[in-house]
Chains A and B, each alone.
Chain A
Amino acid sequence: MSQALVSLTIDGVEVTVPVGTKIVDAAKQAGIEIPVFCYHPKLESVGMCRQCLVEIGRPKIDRSTRKIVRDKNGDPVIEFGPKLETSCTTPVGEGWVVLVNSERAIEGRRQVIELILTSHPLDCPICDKGGECPLQNMTMAHGPGKSRFLYEDKMHLAKHVPLGDLIFLDRERCIQCARCIRFQTEIVDDPVIAFSERGRKLEIVTLSEPGFASYFSGNTTDICPVGALTTADFRFGARPWELNATASICPHCAVGCNTMLNTRREARSQGRVVIKRVMPRQNEAVNEIWLCDKGRFAHHFASSEERLARPVIKLKRRGRLTATTWENAVKFVVEGLQAAHGAVLGIAGGRASNEDLYALHRLMDGLGGRAVLHDQMAGGEFVQQAGVGPGTNLADLGSGDCILVVASDLHEEAPIWWLRVKQAAERGAKLIVANARPTRLDAHATHILRYDYGVAAHMILGMLHEINHQKELDQYASAETKKVAKVVSKANNVVVFYGSEGLDYAASHDLAQNCATLLAASGHVGRANNGLVAVWTHSNTQGAWDMGVHPEPGGLAAALKGQKAAYVVAADPAGDEPLLTSLLEQVDFLIVQGLFLTETALAADVVLPAQSFVERDGTYTNGMRRVQRFFPAIAPNEGMRADWEILSAVAAAMGIDSARPSAAAVMQDIAAKNRDYSEVNYPALSRNASQWPHVGGKDIYFGGTAHPNHQGLGVQLTPRVERQKDISFDWAAPRKIAHKPRYLMVPITKLYDRGTTVVQSQVLGPRLEILRLYVNPEDAERLGMIDEGEVEVQWDGRKQRLRSVIDEHVPSGAVLVPRSLGVPLATAVDVKIRPIAL
């Protein structure tokens, strides 16, 4: 689409930009920096701080002829107004002459700083922002040396106001730019902070319960142009200039946000190098310049004291674990695997990197066994075929496009996708949200579809019917599916996010297949901004599928049948499902590789300490099939090895393969073997492109403290339909639901669960979910339950007592229980519920 352009000169530089561009952005693009405080390229302009004042000259227009007046050389006569103007609110005009660094403009901005400083404490030496503070820098660059205002008139305000559990406010430092408030309102639609009072008394307040508890709160500390907002994690933790920065990828969900790990070696950590904070790293196609609070604040697990540090072996079953050398351990592993004669099963978790998964697959293959993924969501092969094409960026979706989110609560499962989908809807994209219960995304949906738990795939078939008119699909169609199917088929671009809420392996398989078929039938596959995205529960689940490691349709219990040895990597099946413990104990030889002494590790014959993602390099493939690289930020304890390294050493010792020297080398093997990854290699993953808005330059005031991306944007894989024109898609008839269970207990995902990686956060503690059973009011009445009462839930011969909460959002006939909080439930089950009398 061609856009009308406007040309003007800014400080003598000729600039041509699209109509509507603000002067401040036009200048930035031309490399001329205009100081700003309240303006932020991701937010609407408000013109509140006046820091961006410039002189603007406009061509003089003859009022009678409405023509531009020209001088004797034929050049337009330029007229400057009497006042300075805010460049952040003024869109460019043809032929304008803007002066940023004229004497008058500089003086104007100097006075604004003087005014801002009338009540600023200038306590930079004890301020967390000192060293990366726009106000500090600007005062140095543009501020007056002396103030004409009275020192005694400075306001003295509270300096340690907790706005919530994670963010602290220093009222004296706030310069009232409202970036934080506007972020919460415009970008994340969670207006839990706001201004109160006026003038010099203006202050940020929250009156919400429980305060500033937005999932995105940490971002406000990045864009706050002063040290008024600090995080519970980093405040008074270190000075910015002491920190090293290492590029990484958030390991917590399938979005794969790009991060920067800020580390330092410090006495208070016994001279170790530790992570001081996690910062966003710009990747406009993935996380822009944002992170959710889980990604920012759940990093402490990596430096936990409880990490395994040496290999341990158990000589006799149920004997004691004894520490040993790596040499011995590998020998022991080799013997154990040999004794199994091919009856071996590899079990991996979706947190393992591509290199680890490939190495596990290779080893199992060489032994005549196989590797499976410990997960219950299916459909990875459909994402390989019909995933979103290279160049996909949710920011490009808007009017004329459509996004369908089915069986997922994006706000809890993949917060940054939630945010970006919401913004696409605000730009005019049609948003269809289909789930058995209301979720936070509903507020932004143009169409909401409800279905009973379990029949998500059926509903997609109803939509497909409207497109292919197959008779067999009649039964699934309804007025609603008809309506939304029209929206899908008319849209220019369609992205479908599917999750697995309430669905088991088979049901999520059907859902993925039918979504892919719908996309293909409506012509929305094989190009950028179209295709299928899986909302996986882990950061590299898609990578696992790509490496040939998928869940066993019948579950791990089935896969373990007849196995003599099992090799578990980055997973804790026994912790997740106690019933698996005895099955794992029944194999003759159990090897567990991981960070912690998990339930599974306790049952093992050998436990091998693995390096965490902060100590090594590797790659993850996110839900949009973007392969991204993370780098070692911290030197590992010498007793720990990278997962791929251990697996490769074992494979070498068993004569299966030669040992690989580096993760990069493993990636070369992957590229050689896997057509989808043929273009992927470490240098390619490290390639950059210039991104807008520019962040992280010396004009830190512009974008905030998000880091620029010098370490690579990753590579988005090409879906197979784009390459193989012969791929065809067919729908799957979903299994009939035999009966409507009395009560279906459905595990739902909450962002702050109590999984190992979250529970160790030093600051998220008060925000963690509490285990409760959510019940619909009518069901509660029928059952004779009270709010906050106790109930006993029975299923599969198991019993558990739970606190119950009555919640009108729960569909009738279902009860919801958040995952990873103590109820080992992989997928929805029939339950019996009995209230416990007090």
Chain B
Amino acid sequence: MLADKHKSEIKAILKKYPAKEKRSAVMPLLFLAQREYGHITPAALVEVAELLELDPTEVGSLIGFYTLLHDEAAGKYRIQICTDLPCALRGAEELAKRLCANLGIRLGGTMTNGLITVEEVMCLAGCDKAPTLQVQDADGIHYHENQTLGSAMELIAELMEKGSDG
């Protein structure tokens, strides 16, 4: 239960919003749940709904809407490669394909060590430094621009090292 483990953090989040508008705290609570479990588990979804007196469907709808909220387990690091037009023109699709081949996974798949997932996403607003990718992990989101297969592989190696340490 989130409520047991993160009691004070939840309290602090709820305090930011007027008691009558509790529902506004849904995003920070979902982030909290995602940080805790790597994705939003069905139980966490229900718990957030209960905390905010929302229907689980309302909470689930938000998770579906926001691409940075995940309801399925994946690697500790999500490598999200933009394949929208400007990045695609600079070879992003090819990059994604080759990266996956190198890692032995399909696009959207996770390495067996459970650390790395490679996904395809829409424009990350870094078109001037295409191809762009971002890494989503428990700490948040980190941008990596002007990517090549080499730089991406280096990045992944770093992440794998970091990930297996802790």
Contact = CB atoms under 8 A, between A and B. Distances in A.
Partners in one complex: yes
B65 A207 contact: no
Contacts of B112: none
B61 interface: yes
Interface size grouping (class) on chain B:
10 to 19
Chain A binding surface, main DSSP class: loop
Interface of A: 190-198, 205-209
B57 interface: yes
Contacts of A191: 55, 57-58
Contacts of B57: 191-194, 205-208
B89 to A, nearest CB: 22
A197 B65 contact: yes
A203 to B, nearest CB: 8
8 contacts: A191-B55, A193-B57, A194-B57, A196-B61, A205-B60, A205-B64, A208-B56, A208-B57
A822 to B, nearest CB: 31
A195 B61 contact: yes
A192 B60 CA distance: 10
B85 to A, nearest CB: 16
A195 B64 contact: yes
B30 interface: no
Contacts of A195: 61, 64-65
Contacts of A192: 55, 57
Contacts of B42: 207
B62 to A, nearest CB: 9
B14 interface: no
A128 B59 CA distance: 31
B45 interface: yes
B49 to A, nearest CB: 9
Given A194-B61, A207-B60, 18 more contacts: A191-B58, A192-B55, A192-B57, A194-B58, A195-B61, A196-B60, A196-B64, A196-B65, A197-B64, A197-B65, A205-B57, A205-B60, A205-B61, A207-B56, A207-B57, A207-B59, A208-B57, A209-B56
Contacts of A194: 57-58, 60-61
Contacts of B61: 194-196, 205
Contacts of A190: 55
Contacts of B65: 195-198
B81 to A, nearest CB: 19
A203 B42 CA distance: 19
A192 B63 CA distance: 15
Nearest to A197: B64
Contacts of A198: 64-65
A193 to B, nearest CB: 6
A189 to B, nearest CB: 10
Nearest to B42: A207
A196 B59 CA distance: 10
A169 to B, nearest CB: 13
Contacts of B63: 196
Interface centre among A192, A205, A208 (most CB of B within 10 A): A208
A193 B61 CA distance: 9
B98 to A, nearest CB: 26
A197 B72 CA distance: 14
Contacts of B58: 191, 194
Nearest to B60: A207
A194 B65 CA distance: 11
Nearest to A203: B64
Nearest to B53: A443
Contacts of A208: 55-57
A191 B59 CA distance: 10
Contacts of A196: 60-61, 63-65
Nearest to A211: B57
B134 to A, nearest CB: 19
Nearest to A194: B61
A544 B59 CA distance: 48
Interface in B24-74: 42, 45, 55-61, 63-65
Report, nearest first, the 6 A-B pairs whose CB atoms are least far apart: A196-B64, A194-B61, A207-B60, A207-B56, A207-B57, A197-B64
A207 B58 CA distance: 8
Interface centre among B56, B60, B64 (most CB of A within 10 A): B64
A118 B103 CA distance: 37
Nearest to B59: A207
A599 B9 CA distance: 62
A770 B17 CA distance: 40
A197 B63 CA distance: 8
Contacts of B64: 195-198, 205
Interface centre among A193, A196, A206, A207 (most CB of B within 10 A): A207
A205 B56 CA distance: 11
Contacts of B56: 207-209
A195 B62 CA distance: 8
A195 B61 CA distance: 6
B40 to A, nearest CB: 11
Interface in B99-123: none
B79 to A, nearest CB: 21
Interface in B76-100: none
A196 B62 CA distance: 7
Contacts of B60: 194, 196, 205, 207
Interface centre among A192, A193, A194, A205 (most CB of B within 10 A): A194
Contacts of A206: 57
A266 to B, nearest CB: 37
A545 to B, nearest CB: 40
B56 to A, nearest CB: 4
A200 to B, nearest CB: 13
A196 B55 CA distance: 14
Nearest to B65: A198
